[in-house]
């Protein structure tokens, strides 16, 4: 890359020191051919193409591509020896059944390629080109995010531990649930407010860069002013959202601003080290926000015996998101099966009881029938005896 834009300025054609021709009015709507071939029009076109390169060359600080002149001289001294006996119509081809020629440098090439990839990754995340002041201040700006995220995990863990407990260590490490809930509610506005300030600051950085420019640019200037206005418009409304949605929206805002900064860096509107610098800081902030979300909502799913109390204490009045619905469904099915079995047992008991009662009633009916038959027979005998007595009396 170029260390300055002097070479680019040399490429631009210079305007000839010729007095301007007088303007002539024409009733034709077409542009005259002489005007298209004027040096002024071509110079403006070339300058428009070279402007982004000049802006990018201004911020570059990488060295020139070094040429090994000694190696080139040694190669130039070597003579190419003619070997016509080794060249034939089939010397440059290989039959498909022949094995491939052995290459003893495969392992070396593999290790060299791996080292090359590692060096590329190391150079990508290398912050040696970043100035000392923004490097130190940027890392210091991520400390509040790390502190609030780790504090959130600690307090949510505290809410799920029985306190006071039989362990003196746990009693000394953890606090009571009322204090933990108080500090957890205190961290919410601190974390969200600090995130809104940082997002607004990332937009204001573009304003500062634009103020340092001497002349405006038709594409750069609206972009920078737009970023300065759009960043706080995205950041501050997140304070009105619930904590989970607010953290998620701020994470999306940090990602959007990072992509915009990378675009500005590629166009030469920022220093070349600004892209890697923003990536590292955005990664730290994103991990901190993710840890905060895990500490607030996902601990119960990872460890049910710890997250049960957390879900009950943090989701009061909301749908319980940490319960194992599959397990609850199985328990409900077992309960329904037991109820059905009990109902079947009760039905069987009722049927057996009804059958026993029917048998008893049947036996009673048989005994009554026998008694009735015997009574009828006695009545018949009595009537017969009375009839016989009447007949005897009549005979007499």
- In the structure, what pLDDT confidence band is assigned to residue 175 with cuts at 50, 70 and 90? confident
Choice among 148-157, 172-181, 203-212, 321-330 with the minimum mean pLDDT: 321-330
pLDDT at 96 over 50: yes
Q: 45 and 38 in contact (C-beta within 8 Å)?
A: no
Judged by DSSP in three states, 20 sits in coil
Choice among 49-58, 62-71, 192-201, 367-376 with the minimum mean pLDDT: 49-58
Kindly report each contact of residues 173-177 with a partner whose C-beta sits within 8 Å and lies 24 or more positions away, as own/partner: 177/313
pLDDT of residue 358: 84
Which tens digits make up the pLDDT trace of 158-171?
Answer: 887 777 777 777 77
The whole model's pTM is what? 0.50
Domain limits of the chain?
147-314
Nearest to residue 281, comparing CAs of 191, 194, 198?
Answer: 198
Q: Mean of the per-residue pLDDT values for the chain?
A: 75
- In the structure, what pLDDT confidence band is assigned to residue 313 with cuts at 50, 70 and 90? low
Residue 86 backbone class (left: φ over 0; alpha: ψ -120 to 50; beta: rest): alpha
pLDDT at 58 over 60: no
pLDDT at 66 over 50: yes
Most confident of 115-119, 289-293, 354-358, 387-391: 289-293
Mean pLDDT confidence for 73-83: 85
pLDDT at 393 over 90: no
pLDDT of residue 226: 94
* Higher-pLDDT residue of 32, 96: 96
Q: How far is the C-alpha of 223 from the C-alpha of 234, rounded, in Å?
A: 16
């Amino acid at each position: 890359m170029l260390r300055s834009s002097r070479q680019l300025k040399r490429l631009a054609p210079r305007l000839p020191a010729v007095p301007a021709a007088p303007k002539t009015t024409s009733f034709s709507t077409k542009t005259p051919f002489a005007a298209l071939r004027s040096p002024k029009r071509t110079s403006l076109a070339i300058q428009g193409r070279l402007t982004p390169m000049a802006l990018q060359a201004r911020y570059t600080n990488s060295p020139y591509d070094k040429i090994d002149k000694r190696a080139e001289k040694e190669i130039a001294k070597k003579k190419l020896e003619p070997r016509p006996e080794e060249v034939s119509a089939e010397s440059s081809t290989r039959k498909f059944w022949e094995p491939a020629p052995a290459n003893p440098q495969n392992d070396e090439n593999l290790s060299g390629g791996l080292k090359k990839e590692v060096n590329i990754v190391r150079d990508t995340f290398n912050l040696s080109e970043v100035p000392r002041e923004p490097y130190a201040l940027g890392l210091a700006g991520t400390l509040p995010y790390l502190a609030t995220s780790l504090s959130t995990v600690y307090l949510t863990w505290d809410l799920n531990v029985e306190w006071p407990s039989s362990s003196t260590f746990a009693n000394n490490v953890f606090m009571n649930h009322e204090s933990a809930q108080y500090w957890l509610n205190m961290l919410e506005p601190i974390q969200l407010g600090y995130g809104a300030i940082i997002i607004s600051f990332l937009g204001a950085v573009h304003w500062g860069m634009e103020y340092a420019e001497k002349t405006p640019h038709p594409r750069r200037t609206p972009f920078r002013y737009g970023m300065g206005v759009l960043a706080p418009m995205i950041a501050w409304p997140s304070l009105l959202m619930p904590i989970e949605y607010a953290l998620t929206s701020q994470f999306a805002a940090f990602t959007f601003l990072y992509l915009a900064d990378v675009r500005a860096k590629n166009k030469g509107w920022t220093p070349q080290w600004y892209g890697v610098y923003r990536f590292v800081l955005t990664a730290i902030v994103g991990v901190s926000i993710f840890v905060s979300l895990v500490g607030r909502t996902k601990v119960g799913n990872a460890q049910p015996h710890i997250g049960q109390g957390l879900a009950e204490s943090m989701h009061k009045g909301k749908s319980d998101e940490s319960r194992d619905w599959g397990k609850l469904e199985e328990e409900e099915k077992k309960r329904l099966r037991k109820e059905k079995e009990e109902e079947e047992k009760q039905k069987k008991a009722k049927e057996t009881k009804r059958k026993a009662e029917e048998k008893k009633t049947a036996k009673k009916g048989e005994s009554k029938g026998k008694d009735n038959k015997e009574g009828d027979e006695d009545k018949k005998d009595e009537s017969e005896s009375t009839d016989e007595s009447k007949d005897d009396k009549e005979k007499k």
